Amino acid sequence: MDPFAYTRVSDTRAAIAAGRQGGRYIAGGTTLVDLMRETVERPGSLVDISALPLRDITVTPGGGLRIGALVRMADAAADPKVRSTYPVIAESLELSASAQLRNMATIGGNIMQRTRCTYFRDVTANCNKRSPGSGCAALDGINRSHAILGGSDACVATHPSDVAVAFAALEATVRLLGPDGERAVPFAGFLRQPGSTPDREQALRPGELITAVEIPAFPRPLRSGYLKVRDRQSYEFALTSAAIALQVQDGVIRVAKAAAGGVGTVPWKLPAVEQHLLGKRPSDSLWAEAAQRAADGARPLRHNGFKVELLKRTVERQLRVVGGTR
């Protein structure tokens, strides 16, 4: 690990001032410290924001939820408001990482976490994300865990977060505070697809800090849930996952929200699946038809072609569970 400066701040103004000067924000540290140990990340200055007052979970005036950026994953998963209104968020958190990590890691840090591409974490490998212009070892390497959606010639790494998939499905908003004040960014635009600049992963301006994630209100009752398929049943990242939310009124689907994880360079919204469901009556055949659209546009690599069919089956199964026809 390289030497670095460390500052602990207790108010957002001081945090942003330090961030503007190039300091990297750190809270739970469950990703960044690992990467610093491996010299994948070499920040010259860390700004510890864990004392900032961003740990509340509140109901918004419209009936949605606001989750503070420094809420621990375990606390968000256990919160009665989260569990009762958006089970998909609680389930995605409970299926993430390990209990120890969930007790340390924060919601803001979770969506900021970096890819698990093994070449990114191997400083001897070519990686455009870690070292722009050096190439991408995964394209011709072992790419079983990589993306089938949203990749480019520069990078095909998946985004590793589970709760980000739930946020994408629910069309959450990321609240930011920076040198120029507050702003809100739709979740779909917050995490960037790699294109030719895979090192630029979020739509953050210099010094900006995530303060909260807001989930909009939906007509009730909204049923939701998260399914994660992985090589082992704990402490493993998704091969595929599905976050589904449905509202059925008078026997007809009025709200359909869906996103997939483990398959995209960002949490992958599934608009074709959603559109196929709206206005129809729940049935096993409807779930199967809709799920066929989950992999629209997929471009498998040499070792991950299996994800196309696995994604469709993951989405179909979770539609059946959430839709109540299981």
Only one of the segments 38-46, 59-67, 152-160, 315-323 lies at the binding site for ligand SF4 (rule: CB under 6 A); that segment is: 152-160
Only one of the segments 59-67, 101-109, 127-135, 288-296 lies at the binding site for ligand SF4 (rule: CB under 6 A); that segment is: 127-135
* Interacting residue with ligand SF4 among 25, 86, 120, 218 (CB under 6 A): 120
- Rounded to an integer, what distance in angstroms lies between the CA atom of residue 259 and that of residue 261? 7
Q: CB-wise, 82 or 156, nearer to ligand SF4?
A: 156
Q: Does 156 interact with ligand SF4 (rule: CB under 6 A)? A: yes
Q: How many CB atoms lie within 10 A of CB 150?
A: 24
Q: Does 25 interact with ligand SF4 (rule: CB under 6 A)? A: no
What letter represents residue 312's amino acid?
K
- Rounded to an integer, what distance in angstroms lies between the CA atom of residue 310 and that of residue 231? 12
Cβ at position 296, least distance to ligand SF4 in Å: 22
**Residues between 27 and 86 that touch ligand SF4 (CB under 6 A):** none
Q: Does 127 interact with ligand SF4 (rule: CB under 6 A)? A: yes
- Rounded to an integer, what distance in angstroms lies between the CA atom of residue 326 and that of residue 317? 8
* Interacting residue with ligand SF4 among 41, 96, 110, 119 (CB under 6 A): 119
- DSSP bridge partners of 226: 243
Q: Does 282 interact with ligand SF4 (rule: CB under 6 A)? A: no
* Interacting residue with ligand SF4 among 92, 115, 145, 173 (CB under 6 A): 115
Q: Where are the beta strands (DSSP E) in 155-216?
A: 173-178, 181-186, 209-215
- Rounded to an integer, what distance in angstroms lies between the CA atom of residue 161 and that of residue 158? 9
* Interacting residue with ligand SF4 among 90, 157, 210, 256 (CB under 6 A): 157
Cβ at position 49, least distance to ligand SF4 in Å: 26
- Rounded to an integer, what distance in angstroms lies between the CA atom of residue 75 and that of residue 67? 10
Cβ neighbours of residue 271 under 8 Å, at least 6 residues apart?
A: none
Only one of the segments 89-97, 130-138, 226-234, 250-258 lies at the binding site for ligand SF4 (rule: CB under 6 A); that segment is: 130-138
Q: CB-wise, 35 or 117, nearer to ligand SF4?
A: 117
* Interacting residue with ligand SF4 among 87, 108, 198, 300 (CB under 6 A): 198
- Rounded to an integer, what distance in angstroms lies between the CA atom of residue 45 and that of residue 15? 12
Starting at the edge strand found earlier in the chain, the sheet holding 57-59 runs 57-59, 65-68, 209-215, 173-178, 181-186
Q: Does 138 interact with ligand SF4 (rule: CB under 6 A)? A: yes
Closest CA to 212 of 72, 107, 110, 113: 107
* Interacting residue with ligand SF4 among 18, 89, 155, 212 (CB under 6 A): 155
Residues that bind ligand SF4 (CB under 6 A): 115, 117, 119-120, 127-129, 136-138, 155-157, 198
